[in-house]
Structure 1
């Protein structure tokens, strides 16, 4: 079954017609609120801060289990969310940076797998690749030598996910765009120069991106009703 053929507009999914969608989104919204309310300093890494950071993503995993139809697309999205949560936890500790990059790379590969390669849309790939090459031409000179290869590899996977997300369209496309934007702000703030409100921008667009990617799994008539 092609999710694109039966995808529902966001305003329909969040309307009174599908109350279970709104009900199961409440934990995600509350978890995001808790993260921004506590705003644990980044120089105080702990398992508590890791859990608070991961909670919204884990809530989306439960949301898919509760609301979305079964099938490979939903399962791949759940796998991507779990890997993202692992990446979030790893990035709490600077020494676990490479593990975080690896976890997010797997997450993007799972999103890529879910989106598939049809329609191919080579023009979209050309546009995203040119934008990616331009960005990384400014970023890479600021990296330590041991970071150039893993960051470049991650950038390649991220660009591929963006290409296929835009090819899939709908909330998946917007989610992919926001995910890339979040990562670009994070990388620039970390390796090049400090940006105002960088953490706020990074995390708000990141959570929004994951939400939009998650909502792309919802389609009619497969919505659960329990």
Structure 2
């Protein structure tokens, strides 16, 4: 349901799973369900819930000695803190270490997300070379994944090109991702699901629109300046 952007339904199902597994004293499945609650809260913009559930899931996975799952949960909490403006300087190093561990473990979706989070953190810290390195790695790893993973890869590609101030490449990544998403949407059975699936491309749309608006402003500014020069001449 989360992949289909049915977020209220997904949140309800995940919360119910947490209650049932904890009541039945099944801690392994309970921790996984809590991670899903955190991920869905992050998708829905509920940052305090994403952070608290992510940290609780990470602690549970740590007790269970499940390193890959712990890293996935920690990344949700880190991204929630970043979006809230509470990320610290140590978060970048933690995200990069998590990305390396997830790659070694063969967790493709987790590694893509980890490199993307690390790239965003590096961008926020104005560490452009690190940001480009992390975002390019996310782009390469995402190529063979599911539609959700591929969309994260295109976001990483667009952000990496934006860091390098290459608007043509940025727009190309946005267009490629939205074309990929359009092909996926065609295969969905109902108009409602096709409409909801468009949410996967929201960030690509925002990035691309930002580039177009900036280019338009630059052209308008240049044309106005040129006109003033011609009048003066």
TM tier relative to shorter chain: 0.3 to 0.5
Larger Rg over CA atoms: 2
Could you state the TM-score of these two structures normalised by the residue count of structure 2?
A: 0.38
Tell me which of the two structures has the higher relative contact order, counting C-alpha pairs closer than 8 angstroms and 6 or more residues apart. 1
Name the one with the larger helix percent. Answer: 2
